[in-house]
Every structure is written in structure tokens, then in C-alpha cells.
Chains A and B, each alone.
Chain A
């Protein structure tokens, strides 16, 4: 059974067709990589799925519920979490408060005016931080973190509402190769343990080929390939897109 089904999704900005008639689906528990050169329309896809952008046409179904027209916060409540390409945490809060905030929202306690927030869901927040290896930084201001750590905190935040689908837009951007590998391995473990489906973008082909269950390729807004690592690697169209931009898979991995 498919968790997320996308049919003929399109979005233009002015004259630019950022996403052009794209269809794909994610099966439950699948670890699906969305790859493509810069400007291919990957972030635009993410933004439409999570409700931040409204598509011009097409359909997005999550567990049978249409998502078009819904707001990001409502889509989140349906069980879809996300991280951003440019990591965003709440800079005036500590690391653990960032996670607590998501837990408070999940528990529908946002409009409480009396009891201090610090005491709420602290245990659970520590657990989530432990899962991403950030428990030691719990009480540090989040704005002091290194970029790679911010990405991990974002992951902990995204896990707070026990999502069934996780959208991760370039979760490893700005990380060293070793760190990249570790983070994706961590996500992969979570996918297996909890049966979450994940849609992620990633520039390092080594990482993609090593971990993804399936890969879809986007170029200039169009979906040009869909398959496992081997078939993508051997796909002439995909090779053209990458070589055509003057890059090889290896060069792309380093960029």
C-alpha cells in the first residue's frame, strides 16, 4: 500500500515551470531519494507536499486524504514531519526547548498560560535528542550549535509528533562526508525501527546509492527516472542530465 501518492503535480513561478507534471508514490516504510541538479524543483515538491506552497494543478494524497488546500500545520497534524533545506530552529531557545515546543504543540497545550513550559515533556524531549545523539547539548542555546548539529536537532523536532511520513530537504547539506553518512544511517535505522516512510533529497550519490530503497530523478521540473540504484546509475537520460551540466556523479557528490 502506498502512503503518499502524487499525481501530475505542477507549479510555475512566473514563466518558470518549477515542477512539471510529476507523479510518484511512496510505499509505507520506504526510504525514497529524490535527486536532481540544483533548480530541478525538489524543494518546490517538498513545499507543495507540506502545504507551504499551493500547486497549480495535480493531486497529493496521504493515506487517502487529499492534501491540496491544507495548511502546513494541518498537514503536520495528519502525521507528516519535515526538515528544511536551510535549517530553521527557534534561535532564542535552548536545544531541548526546541523539541519541547514541538511536543507541546503535539499535545495541544499551546494556549496554556500558567504552568511553565520548561517542565513539560522534558523526559520525552531528552529521549528524542538521545536518538539523534544530541542529549549532551540539551541545555545549550540552539543558535550556538554547529550547522550539522542544527540539522540533527531539526530531525528530533520533526520526530516529535511521531510522523508516519518524513520529508527531509537536503538533510546533510553543509556536513562533512563522515557526518553525512552517519546521519543518513541514523535516519535509515529509524525508518526500519518505526516503519516511517521518508522522502529525502541528497547531493552525495554515494550516500543515495548506499541507503535509498528507491530513487527518483527530477530534471528541470520533469520526472525522468524512477527505480533502484542500479537502474538509475545505468539510465542514459540520468547520466546525460548529470554529465550535461558538466558534472559527474562524483563531482556532484562533493558539491
Chain B
């Protein structure tokens, strides 16, 4: 560790910063004008890498590479315009939760499209013609392509600034970013403006992706990896601010570079390998910025939060009919091992469904009554699952101990992450929770010595007396029923009312003495804790746990379950989780392209059935009643 190493890494950090900036800036621009958080932005970047790869290898030479980069940016820009016209235009007025889900559906569709077109293998592009060499800097070699990238970031920033201040389109964009209502008043064709901005943002993502092919292979996991980083940069820089995006990109890249330069440091009593702490560092930067400036370094507080689509009915205690119905379902579930004696697989599916119910019900607890749209519920599932599995792996803990630890580990995580999350609302909260989930995932993935890395933890089997399938099924049923019962109880108690009060009208709630942040923080912790039970059960049900099973897609599965059932009913998550788990098991697994299928289901839900199954049925009954 010496000064030269630091300076070298700092320079190197600037080239990473350019990459981060190019992904984040488009996301930020699009949000500034349209108020849509485009989760598919990472997918556009990924498509950029694939398209540039194809052009560069098909055409070859300098034209193929450099021309390919330009062509890619244009193609991805056009794709962005098409997305805006066909999909986003229909959902600008929808609740933001639906917007996020719709763009996530695109992630799924594009991922399968890339799989279909380019196949599952990683594709390594050619090196940049003209920039294959390297120069010597402080006794180390720095590739000239990296120097080129260092220049690209600020150059794009400068160009964007000029475009925004000098052109009519740019001035409109800035006006729209500052005051959305004003655009209408100016008599501007808003549709054109939005399409243009979306195309521009997509173009920047495509450019960012295309520039990477000389350094890294094109791969199918890029979309979600990149969107996680982009979220952190945008949140730190301030949504809608392009200079903020660059400042944040440099800050984060430099902090990471510093960690790498520090390497392994001996503190006498213990040693710390800082180069394995890059993700933790990223998290810390974000945390510090959000504590001191909740809307990012150069961001501004956004106007009023959009209200929920449909007004919610007051909570009514269960009617006798509902109670009887619930008991019948419970009896059927208890009798299941007898009913399904012939087909042992039914119990496996039954366990999956019960775990899904616990997962979805805990998510619904904060999403519905709490109004906090968490896009990272997988974090608490993962903490529970890994908490239990690691106790078994390292301490040979009996199942009872491991299962008891699962909710506690998840609770710790939820208390920590929730403390930050409740300070934000709306899309900020959604992005922050997603970023936290990415951090848990990455930590599990990176910390190989503890967690087994991508292989996960194996051999987590239930111990006596639960080693038989039916016994474990009964355990799962008991815990799931207990969890659902507790959640229901909490919602009818003063605490649940206070949660809803804080959601309905934070100002009014504070004005009658409620500490809304604290209430929502505790709710977040309770949800995380219950979700941890689901995670623990999952680890034992499968006998193993791997990073793949706690990735973003699990968070999104949870959202789909909740919306499928209906956000505004208590039984919604239960119905939604059951339907989803059975569907996923039967239909989704029967095709290689189940992601695209799931994406289609989500789009259908968002565009056609926003109230979900239970909500839709309730409305149907209400209409019948009114008619009779």
C-alpha cells in the first residue's frame, strides 16, 4: 500500500465512474420528466452490449466496432421510443407501484428475448480498434481504452448540458423536470416530449452497454446487476439531476477504488480485506447521503405523492361466513396428507404454497396497510434462509434452533434497512429497498468462505421428528397459519390502525401525535421478521439455499402475488400466493421461456386487472348486490 497505488486506483476509478454515469443518467432523465422509474433500463443496457457485439463481430474492423457503437445507441433509442408509445403511455396515470411492475415485466421479456436470440453463453466482444494498447502510469499499465472511457463520461455530461440549455427540446425537458403541470400550460405536445425523453434515455443506456463490450463479455445477468448500481447512483445523485448522477458515479467509483487500493490491512488484532468490501462501501455511501440529504446530493424533494388508485374500504371484522370459510380451508389443509396419500408431490407443492403465503402476507403487511412498496422483500427471506442454513452448516445447530434464529436474523436486517427505508416514500423507497436486497444478495455471493458463494449451502435437512414429508408439512402449516393469524391480529389492533393512519395522511397522523416513521419502521421490522420464518422453512424444505433463490426475482414474485390477489384486501395475498405458486409450478416450469410468460402475466394484471382476484370478485359481488 503506497501513494502510487492510491493514485493509480483513483484514475482507474474514473473510468468505472464513466460507465456508472452512462447507465444512471438515462434513468435519471427519464424519471425527471415522466416520473417513471424504468427498471428495464438495465435491460436496455444489456441489449446494447449484445447488439454492439453482433455488429462488431459481423461487420468486423474499426467500422464494425466504432460504427457499431453508434448504430447500437440509435437502435436502442428507437426501441425506447417504441416502449414508450406501446406501454408507458397507458400507465402514466397509474399508481407508481404498477409502473414499476410494468417496467419489470419488460425486464423479464427482454431477458428471454436475449436468451432466444443470442443463447445462454457469455459473448466476448473484440478489443477496440485503435485503442488496444496501454500506457505506463506510476509504474503500472493503464489500458488506453480505459483512458478513453474516462473522457467519455464528462464529454457526455457536457453534451447533455449543452443540449438541455441550447435546444428547444432541452428547455422543455428542463421545464418539465421542474414543474410537470407547466408543460401542459405551455401547450407543448406532451406525448412527443415524453417519447423523445424516453428515446434519449434509452439511447444513453444503449451507448453505455455498447462501450463495455471491449472490456466485459455480454451476459444475461447484466440487466439486474446494472440496474442495482444505477439505482444507487441515481438515489445518491438525486433523481432527475444529470450533474448529480456524474458526481455520485465518481463518488461511488472512487470509494470502491479506495477499498481495492487498501487491499488487506492488518490492524494488529485482526485483518480486514477491504477489496472484498466494495459492496458494503457502496451501501455506506448511499446510507450516509440519504441520512444527510434524503433526496440525494443534487436532488430536490418531489411534489405530492400520488394517491392509491382505488379508495380502500374500512376494515371490518370477519363475518361468520368468512370465519367458517377460513376454518374449512384450514381443515382441508390439515387433511391434505391423508387426501394426497397417492401423490407425494402434492405435499411438496403444498409446502411451497404455504411458504409463498407467509412470504406474500408479510410483504402485503407493509405494502397494503403500510403503503410502503418494498421491492426488496427477498432480502429478509434470504436473511432468514441463510441465517438458518449457516447455523446448521457451521454449528451443526438442530433444526429448532436454526428455525428460531431465522426470524431473528431477518429482524436485525429489517431493523437496519427499514430505518433508512421509512425516511423515504414512493419510488425512492422502492429503489432503496431493492438496492438493499441487492446488497444482501451480493454479500452472500461475494462472501464465499462463509456462505459458499454461488454454490450456496447444502445439506440443510429437517431433523427428527420432522424429517418425514407430512411432518414437515404440518410444521410449515402451523407456522404459516400462526404468521397469517398474527398479521391479522396486528392489523386490527391499534398498531395496525396507526400504520394505516400514517399511510392515509401523514400530516394528519403527525398532528394527532403519531410518530409515523417509527410506526412504519416497526411495521417494516415485523414484516421482515415474519418473512424470515418463510426463508428458514424454505431452506429446510429444499435442503439447500443458494444466492439464486434470494435474487431480485423473488422480491418481484412477492409483488406479483400481492397484486394478483389484490392489494386492498387482507385475504388477497393468501389467494394471490396460492394461485401464483401453483401457476409457477405447473405452467411456468414447462417452458424454457417462463420469464417472458411471467412478464406477460404481470402486464396483463397491470393493464387489465389492477384490483387483483379478490378485489375483482369483491367488486363483482358488490355490483350484484346493488343490482338485486
Task: Tell me the complex Cα distance, A60–B495, Å.
Answer: 33
Task: Tell me the complex Cα distance, A115–B313, Å.
Answer: 21
Known: A91-B504, A101-B497. A110 touches B514 (CB 8 A): yes
Q: Which residues of A contact B498 (CB under 8 A)?
A: 101, 104-105, 110
Q: Are B504 and A92 in contact (CB under 8 A)?
A: yes
Known: A91-B312, A94-B314, A116-B317. A50 touches B511 (CB 8 A): yes
B1 at the interface (CB under 8 A from A): no
Q: A93: nearest residue on chain B (CB-CB)? A: B314
Q: Which residues of B contact A88 (CB under 8 A)?
A: 505, 507-508
A102 at the interface (CB under 8 A from B): yes
Q: Which residues of A contact B513 (CB under 8 A)?
A: 73, 76-77, 102, 105-106, 161
Q: Which residues of B contact A178 (CB under 8 A)?
A: none
Within residues 97 to 150 of chain A, which ones have a CB less than 8 A from any CB in chain B? 97, 100-102, 104-106, 109-118, 120, 141, 143
B494 at the interface (CB under 8 A from A): yes
Q: How many whole Å from B463's CB to the nearest CB in chain A?
A: 32
Q: A86: nearest residue on chain B (CB-CB)? A: B507
Q: Are A112 and B495 in contact (CB under 8 A)?
A: yes
Q: Which residues of A contact B141 (CB under 8 A)?
A: none
The residue that B512 contacts in the complex, of A52, A102, A117, with Cβ under 8 A, is: A102
The residue that A113 contacts in the complex, of B313, B314, B489, B500, with Cβ under 8 A, is: B489
B493 at the interface (CB under 8 A from A): yes
Q: Which residues of B contact A73 (CB under 8 A)?
A: 510-515
Q: Are A101 and B314 in contact (CB under 8 A)?
A: no
Interface size class of B (residues with CB under 8 A): 20 to 34
Task: Tell me the complex Cα distance, A21–B496, Å.
Answer: 43
* Contact code string A72-97 (vs B, CB < 8 Å = 1, else 0): 11001100011010001111111001
A217 at the interface (CB under 8 A from B): no
Q: Which residues of A contact B490 (CB under 8 A)?
A: 113
Q: Are B493 and A97 in contact (CB under 8 A)?
A: no
The residue that B495 contacts in the complex, of A81, A91, A94, A111, with Cβ under 8 A, is: A111
Task: Tell me the complex Cα distance, A88–B513, Å.
Answer: 15
A160 at the interface (CB under 8 A from B): yes
Q: B497: nearest residue on chain A (CB-CB)? A: A117
Q: Are B314 and A141 in contact (CB under 8 A)?
A: yes
Q: Which residues of B contact A71 (CB under 8 A)?
A: 510
Task: Tell me the complex Cα distance, A150–B519, Å.
Answer: 25
Q: Which residues of A contact B494 (CB under 8 A)?
A: 104, 109-112, 115, 117, 120
Known: A88-B508, A102-B512, A141-B314. A113 touches B501 (CB 8 A): no
Q: A116: nearest residue on chain B (CB-CB)? A: B492
Q: Are A115 and B493 in contact (CB under 8 A)?
A: yes
Q: How many whole Å from A148's CB to the nearest CB in chain B?
A: 18
A219 at the interface (CB under 8 A from B): no
The residue that B511 contacts in the complex, of A72, A91, A94, A97, with Cβ under 8 A, is: A72
A157 at the interface (CB under 8 A from B): yes
Task: Tell me the complex Cα distance, A120–B174, Å.
Answer: 52
Q: Are B493 and A84 in contact (CB under 8 A)?
A: no
Q: Are B492 and A117 in contact (CB under 8 A)?
A: yes
Q: Which residues of A contact B505 (CB under 8 A)?
A: 88-91
* Contact code string B289-317 (vs A, CB < 8 Å = 1, else 0): 00000000000000000000001111101
Known: A92-B500, A113-B493. A84 touches B508 (CB 8 A): yes
Q: A111: nearest residue on chain B (CB-CB)? A: B495
Q: Which residues of B contact A50 (CB under 8 A)?
A: 511
Q: Are B493 and A112 in contact (CB under 8 A)?
A: yes
Q: Are B508 and A111 in contact (CB under 8 A)?
A: no
Q: How many whole Å from B146's CB to the nearest CB in chain A?
A: 43
Q: Are B493 and A116 in contact (CB under 8 A)?
A: yes
Q: How many whole Å from A134's CB to the nearest CB in chain B?
A: 16
Q: Are B492 and A160 in contact (CB under 8 A)?
A: no
Q: A73: nearest residue on chain B (CB-CB)? A: B513
Q: How many whole Å from A221's CB to the nearest CB in chain B?
A: 23
Known: A92-B314, A113-B490. A104 touches B497 (CB 8 A): yes
Task: Tell me the complex Cα distance, A130–B503, Å.
Answer: 27
Q: A120: nearest residue on chain B (CB-CB)? A: B494
Q: B492: nearest residue on chain A (CB-CB)? A: A116
Q: Which residues of A contact B492 (CB under 8 A)?
A: 116-118
Known: A73-B515, A110-B519. A89 touches B508 (CB 8 A): yes
Residue from the set B311, B313, B500, B513 with the largest chain A CB neighbour count within 10 Å = B513
Q: Are A157 and B317 in contact (CB under 8 A)?
A: no
B614 at the interface (CB under 8 A from A): no
Q: Which residues of B contact A120 (CB under 8 A)?
A: 494
B522 at the interface (CB under 8 A from A): yes
Within residues 464 to 502 of chain B, which ones have a CB less than 8 A from any CB in chain A? 489-490, 492-498, 500-501
Task: Tell me the complex Cα distance, A157–B512, Å.
Answer: 8
Task: Tell me the complex Cα distance, A50–B511, Å.
Answer: 8
Task: Tell me the complex Cα distance, A52–B509, Å.
Answer: 12
Within residues 237 to 255 of chain B, which ones have a CB less than 8 A from any CB in chain A? none
Known: A112-B495, A114-B493, A161-B512. A141 touches B501 (CB 8 A): no
Q: How many whole Å from B375's CB to the nearest CB in chain A?
A: 23
Residue from the set B490, B494, B505, B511 with the largest chain A CB neighbour count within 10 Å = B511
Q: How many whole Å from A61's CB to the nearest CB in chain B?
A: 20
Q: How many whole Å from A13's CB to the nearest CB in chain B?
A: 13
Q: A90: nearest residue on chain B (CB-CB)? A: B504
Known: A90-B504, A93-B500, A102-B512. A110 touches B495 (CB 8 A): yes
Q: B499: nearest residue on chain A (CB-CB)? A: A110
Q: How many whole Å from B478's CB to the nearest CB in chain A?
A: 20
Q: How many whole Å from B305's CB to the nearest CB in chain A?
A: 13
Task: Tell me the complex Cα distance, A106–B511, Å.
Answer: 11
Would you mind naming 7 contact pairs between A and B with Cβ atoms under 8 Å apart?
A: A72-B507, A73-B514, A89-B504, A92-B503, A93-B501, A100-B497, A111-B495
Q: A90-B505, A143-B311 are in contact. List 5 more A-B contacts (CB 8 A).
A: A72-B507, A93-B497, A106-B512, A111-B494, A115-B493
- Contacts from B to A (Cβ < 8 Å): 311-315, 317, 489-490, 492-498, 500-501, 503-505, 507-515, 519, 522
Please give me the 9 A-B residue pairs with the lowest Cβ-Cβ distance, nearest first: A88-B508, A92-B312, A90-B504, A105-B513, A88-B505, A102-B512, A72-B510, A116-B492, A117-B494
